[in-house]
Amino acid sequence: MSTDPNTDPEHRDVPVEPDPGTAQQPPPQSRVALLAAIAPVVLALDVATKVAAVAELEGREPVELFGGLVYLSFLRNSGAAFGLAEGWTVILALIAFGVVGFILWIARKLRSVGWAVGLGLVLGGALGNLVDRVFRSPGPLRGHVVDFISVVEPYGTFFPVFNIADSGICVGGAIIVIMAAMQRDYDGTRHVKPVKNA
């Protein structure tokens, strides 16, 4: 004869523990706010330093800092970061629009701190150089990017002259590569290769 757990005193009001193997873990916290905090800081630093560079460095000799480790050397660049793809200004501007749009599109699923930092740096850097391409001479989508940081040598022969936006793009890209190498995705999941039994 079966016993009804609702009427049997021995079974009444006994709490049922969930199976830990079947309990669902809460999703990781959204990291959109972190991305939204980093990108404007990078953009603001880039715009401010470029405005200062135009006002103080254009038409002048490079300024030596830290005993020649760093030079402030003014340059207008029609290419990509570090002087690459010179003359492709319109194409690079359109690519930058695409990068910004893609980051904003995946931001709604962003759950990883590392990815949020990396994408925030890339987004701020992309917007910084995009502002130059849209608003600086010789015209919209053809504007030249202001570069002013040179290392070891004042004219970019040791390493191309760059700016804050370039630094944000490169550092952010490196963080994203590291996260991918660690098999951590932007949505907070981690891809683990199954272990094969001998």
**Active-site amino acid positions:** 147, 166
* Residues shown for the chain: 198
In degrees, rounded to 5, the angle at the alpha carbon of residue 193 between the alpha carbons of residues 189 and 198 is 150
Contact present, 151 and 72 (Cβ < 8 Å): no
Positive/negative CA dihedral, 65, 41, 91, 110:
positive
- Rounded to whole angstroms, the maximal C-alpha distance in the chain is 99
Sorted by sequence, the CB contacts under 8 Å of residue 128 that are 6+ apart come out as 42, 43, 46, 47, 50, 163, 164, 165, 168
